Copies of this chain bind each other. A is one copy, B any other.
Amino acid sequence: MPSQSEIKLFSSLKLKKFRQKYGLFVVEGAKTVAELVHSSMKVRHILTSHELPFDAGDISVAHISVKEMERLSSMDNPPGILAVVELPSYGAEISENSRGPVLALDGIRDPGNLGTMIRTADWYGVRDILLSEDCTDVFNPKCLHASMGSFQRVRCHYGTLKNLIPGTGLPVVGCTLHGSNIRETNLPERCVLLIGSESHGISAGLLPLLDLQITIPRFGQAESLNAAVAAAIALDHCVH
């Protein structure tokens, strides 16, 4: 049984500053926790208010009350199973043997959008995402939830994009409002695909890094696309 002070510590992990202080984050839901047990991530504890529907091997499993689970959970309807996991550290190294582009995200604040982007990136075989420091933290509970487990497979590297992007040595393609029609453009097989925020687009300071600007053609009247939707359509055109 975890002590009350441990419960308090785990509950604090909803906030980024405590995740960074303790080097831990919390994941909820039987499916994702079961996947994590077999992943390269280090699961410290599993806490459950139910019977555990999978074998946790030699990971410590503690049974807690429904009330304690409600305190720990970030969800309106707590799934009743959560894991406390060590924050991975990937450094700045990009996977060598990846097929898809490297995704780079500038100023993506919405955790649901960021999680959806990680999920879509995983679908298209992206192994690495570069994120500006002002992007939401990937280990935010809403972001993890929207990623549907894909946060385990896609490595998220935070830093200054002005340094991280040239560090890859890859050509840089940016999604902007005034680029070439994405349908009529030959995109390099291996590149950095840079997506900006819905409200501010790609930061002015990053535009000189772009080798190519692409635009998703508009046929109707919406002013813009949701950032996760734009990233998905761009990825669909990038990956062959």
> A100-B220, A220-B100, A220-B153 are known contacts. Are A123 and B225 too (CB-CB below 8 A)?
yes
Q: Which residues of B contact A123 (CB under 8 A)?
A: 216, 218-222, 224-225
Q: Does any Cβ of B come within 8 Å of A236's Cβ?
A: yes
A35 to B: closest C-beta gap in Å: 10
From B100, B150, B216, B228, give the contact of A229 (CB < 8 A): B228
Bound: A121/B221 CA distance, A: 9
**A119 part of interface (Cβ distance < 8 Å):** yes
A122 touches B221 (CB 8 A): yes
CB-contact partner of A236 in B116, B121, B233, under 8 A: B233
Secondary structure class of chain A's binding surface, majority of residues: loop
A56 to B216, CA, bound (A): 34
| Binary interface encoding of chain A residues 103-142 relative to chain B, with 1 for a CB under 8 A from any of its CBs, else 0 | 0000000001000100111111110000000000000000
Can you list 17 A-B contacts (CB < 8 A)?
A100-B219, A100-B220, A112-B112, A116-B226, A119-B229, A121-B220, A122-B222, A125-B219, A125-B221, A148-B222, A148-B223, A149-B222, A149-B223, A216-B236, A225-B232, A226-B228, A229-B229
